[in-house]
Amino acid sequence: MSERLETGDTAPAFTLPDADGTEVSLAAHHGRKVIVYFYPAALTPGCTKQACDFTDNLQLLAGAGYDVIGVSPDKPEKLAKFRDQENLKVTLVGDPSKEILTAYGAYGEKKLYGKTVTGVIRSTIVVDENGKVERAFYNVKATGHVAKIIKDLGI
């Protein structure tokens, strides 16, 4: 089981390909707050709802100084299809090796329909301007989570 991050931890650095294959790094966002959210798979109902919620609230979040990056184990081609099909505006990056998912505590054992399985743990990590974890949310629900983040961050 991967270690979960806690407030004050240094957020693990990453550079991952986005939907167009362009490298996106956490370091490039230094000086801005970043909401990094982890989801199991593009083009699935729950993940679509969550990505659409982030897209719908992107202007509000950006206005409050937050960038948003969605991370899944998907390859760039699937991310591009997801982005285009759903008209998503959030940055989506792929981590097929699951190395970054694991580093963030977003990959490991979880309960699914009463069974223990290994997979992506739907999680959201809020990283401050200096690369430290401001908030860490694990086992979040796809629906209503963005509204909860906005409320918790006082936006």
Residue with tokens 């790094």: 25
- Closest to 70 in 3D by CA, of 95, 87, 46: 95
State the catalytic residue, choosing from 5, 11, 42, 47.
47
Tokens of 72: 């899944």
Report the C-alpha gap between 106 and 114 in whole angstroms: 19
Q: At 62, which helix (H) or strand (E)? A: helix 58-63
Amino acid at 56: D
Tokens of 25: 């790094």
Report the C-alpha gap between 62 and 84 in whole angstroms: 21
User: Is 47 part of the annotated catalytic residue set?
Assistant: yes
Q: 25 has which bridge partners? A: 15
Active site residues: 47
